Amino acid sequence: MAKRLEKKHPLAIRWLHWINFPLLFLMIWSGILIYWANAVYGIRIFGYELFHFFPAWFNEALGIPFQLANGMALHFFFMWFFIINGIMYVLYTIISGEWRALVPVPGSFKRAMQVTLFDLHLSKYHPPQGKYNDAQRIAYTGVIFMGLGSLLTGLAIYKPTSFAWLTWALGGYEWARWEHFWLTMAYLGFFVVHVGQVVLAGWNNFRSMITGYEVVKADTMPIEKTKPEHMSPEAGGVRA
Amino acid sequence: MNDERNKMSDEHKMGDEHETGGRQDSAAPMSDAPVAARAAKVARAMREETIAPEANKENTAHLLGEVRRVSGVMSDDEAKREIGRQARRTFLIGGAAAVAGYAGYRLLWAQPDVGGVPSPFRRAFQFNEGLSQAYFSPTRLAQEFPRSRAAEPRVNGGEGMSGGFDPATWRLQVVGLHNPPQHPQFTDNIAYETAMDNMHADDESSQRHENPEAPDSKVAPGTTTPDSMDRAAAMQMQGPGLLLTMDDIRRLPRVEMTTEFKCIEGWSTIVHWAGARLADFIAHYQPATRNGTQPDARNRPQDLVRYVSMVTPDGGYYVGLDMPSAMHLQTLLAYEMNGAPLNLAHGAPLRLVTTTKYGIKQIKRIGRIAFTDERPADFWAERGYDWYAGH
């Protein structure tokens, strides 16, 4: 069976993705150290707390107590690298044209639901997709806005007087802290689903995030069928 | 298969050299060894990387003109070999990067401590402080609230709040002024008689912490370190300066504000305060200037010495403030909280309240105010926290 190697992930995106991983981890870890000093959030239903962030056994097991100073030192050091890495990712996707594969398109929401049902084995229909399916388009674009949200809610609680307008717009200091916390929980949710999907997608897919290439069947590529005007050499090159 | 590849030979060839790097451009002649020939063939296939638009109209990729980049056609075996080669190279690079990243992280923590935190983190605090200072304005105000929302803040930590303190005999020591003898409260020696002599004897009763989760990673809550005892001794300060009474403070314009008190631990409480603006105090008791000229705190605050130090009467707690934060319109020398005079637990007779800093800077029971051009010692900054701690 003839094969091709498909270039799925550009070098820059691979680096930025993998650099983001430890940076986000450090931001979350240091955030937990900070949060411990005023650990007031939980999941409550009708006044009954189902789960408290975080249970004592969790704090004890991970050595979280009495590390507020270390948490702040880490948080306000690595935030710069986290922000810079995020900005470089966004700039790269815009400049390189990778954004075309990443942003939601008309009909994305419906197809994302179909993908979700398919992945949950509740449906046999998998909608057509580009490099990423529509659930991925929504998730990968959404997580960028979550990053922006973390930046803004973080700034609102870091400098609530200098950026009083921002703190106010986010509902006040305590709401901004709540939002910052739940965005972090949402990253963890993203992470769990993301890793689960990567495991299910298999080695060829995972490896492509390291090498850049995925092995594909040669005949699945309808590449010689069309060549739009703007892609032709006469039109001045092919880089989209 | 060759046909298929030839068909694509007019496609654009990607010049993405280092991406697919290490290709045998100087490939050995085909006739030599089959291995070399195969490698050359794979290298050609990789070079033939093709950019093509998605043709399938069902496919969402065509909507935004997504493109796919694929190599030329290879056999199963060739593809396996090539992806293996790519994987070995990139996993090695990635592994090396991970090791380097981890080593770098460990190296950060191995740097010498500066104020209870490794120096790179201390420098990051200072870098962030520089940016904050550049943006800071004494007239950029924090939100204020209806007085009805005011509540009593938590009492958190007892450093500097020794027992046996008598507010009636309290005086406020002020040093670092421009031409202090011009003020009637001037004295050659600001040491004064109070009930402080036995202040350390009954520490136990007052060093009680309502909140056992004091924001202290290095020192167990409620302990007085030998360091702060030494400072207490140093606090019996001799020398010229002013000795002020509460009447002196009350003579300054009275200001009220209902603002959010924010603890570095993460909790906050809306509190109604009354007191004198520190900016008004500074305008009345003008600090020395950096170059010794006549100060004009209202119009040329940048000429003043750059810092304000505040210390409790026992020397057990001490904070440093930058002058712009001290001059902020919401920085008060407060003597009333929620409509009543401050009680001892909340810092009677006089405490600092400001929207520009965390609670750790809002020192209770101010014993001495010193204007200085040297960055003052700060209790929590010596224990791993940001000196600026600014909002």
pLDDT for A221:
57
Residue A236 has pLDDT above 60, yes or no: no
Chain B CB within 8 Å of residue A28 CB: no
pLDDT for B25:
43
Q: How far is CA A66 from the centre of its chain?
A: 30
How many helices (DSSP H) and strands (DSSP E) are in chain B? 9, 13
Read off the pLDDT of each residue in A208-222 and give the average, rounded to a whole number: 86
pLDDT for A16:
98
Q: Do A130 and B60 touch (CB under 8 A)?
A: yes
Q: Do B75 and A80 touch (CB under 8 A)?
A: no
Comparing alpha-carbon positions, the chain B residue that sits nearest to A64 is B217
What distance in Å separates the CA atoms of residue A212 and residue B31, rounded to the nearest whole number? 32
pLDDT for B253:
98
pLDDT for B347:
95
Q: Where are the domains of chain A?
A: 15-39+68-203
pLDDT for B48:
79
- ipTM (interface pTM): 0.89
- Residue pair B278/B352 in contact (Cβ under 8 Å)? The answer is yes
Looking at chain B, the domain(s) classified CATH 3.90.420 span 122-383
pLDDT for B54:
63
Chain B CB within 8 Å of residue A239 CB: yes
Read off the pLDDT of each residue in A101-125 and give the average, rounded to a whole number: 93
pLDDT band at A233, cuts 50/70/90? very low
Span B122-383 CATH architecture: Alpha-Beta Complex (3.90)
Q: Which fold has domain A15-39+68-203?
A: Fumarate Reductase Cytochrome B subunit (1.20.950)
pLDDT for B32:
59
pLDDT along chain B (391 residues), means of 10: 40 39 42 76 82 70 82 91 95 97 98 96 98 94 97 92 88 96 94 58 38 39 41 62 96 98 97 98 97 94 97 93 97 98 95 98 96 96 97 96
Better pLDDT: A226 or A24: A24
Read off the pLDDT of each residue in A25-54 and give the average, rounded to a whole number: 95
Q: Which two tokens stand for residue A77?
A: 């050091």
- Residue pair A89/A20 in contact (Cβ under 8 Å)? The answer is yes
Q: Which residues of A touch B97 (CB under 8 A)?
A: 18
Distances (CA, A) of A65 to A30, B161, B213, B214, B317: 12, 25, 9, 11, 24
* Chain A residues 46-65 with a CB less than 8 Å from chain B: none
Helix (H) or strand (E) holding A133: none
Q: How far is CA A134 from the centre of its chain?
A: 15
Q: Give the pairing of strands B172-175 and B241-244.
A: antiparallel
Q: Which residues of B touch A105 (CB under 8 A)?
A: 60, 63-64
Residue A135 has pLDDT above 50, yes or no: yes
